[in-house]
Amino acid sequence: MIKSLLKASFRKFGDQYNYDTAYMQEVADISTSAGLRLSFLPFISQYRAPDASIGVWAGSLLASTLSEDCGPCAQLIVDMALEAGVNANHIEECISGQAKETTDAGLGFIFASMAISNDLKVDEYRKLIIRNHCSQTLLAASFAASSGRVYPVLKRALGHGAACLEINVNNKSVKVERAI
């Protein structure tokens, strides 16, 4: 019963975002317990406090995901960011390697890229996020930066990895420039 509910939930999510959830279905088939654990990952990656900047969160999640994937997972993050109201031009700038710290998405993208690459300047960006926004935004960006990589790595490890693609932002194809 739990397995069928999990799989239905995964399918619903996939239908909502035109995203292939075959790997999620496979996890649930192999182990209901593992499927349940997988279903809890969004509680970390999607964490956004009401007063936190959605743009900083989205930029951080995009950088984290792009560090491992420029295919369906990255497209999913872009679609979710656009749905949440993040400026499409700012998303394009991040994807094309032109992220600017003057935009919320760019600030999150640069922060996450630095955290992932162990750049010592990450502390400057941590302070900038807190100064311009709040500690809740920093927390959301930190969760996003650390968790966005999980899905692409899991997909590849299970044999569901996809080749890199250009990312579609509001029906415009944007070439991915690797920043990380």
Per residue in 42-83, pLDDT tens? 999 999 988 889 999 999 999 999 998 878 999 999 999 999
Q: Which among 97, 123, 103, 113 is positioned nearest to 146, based on CA atoms?
A: 113
pTM of the model: 0.91
pLDDT higher than threshold 80 for residue 179? no
Q: What are the b/e assignments for 72-105, b being 16+ CB within 10 Å?
A: bbbbbbbbbbbeeebbbebbbbbbeeebebebbb
Per residue in 119-173, pLDDT tens? 999 999 999 999 999 999 999 999 999 999 999 999 989 998 876 778 889 988 8
pLDDT of 69: 81
Domain borders along the chain are 1-40, 47-174
* Torsion angles phi and psi, residue 105, rounded to 5: -65, -40
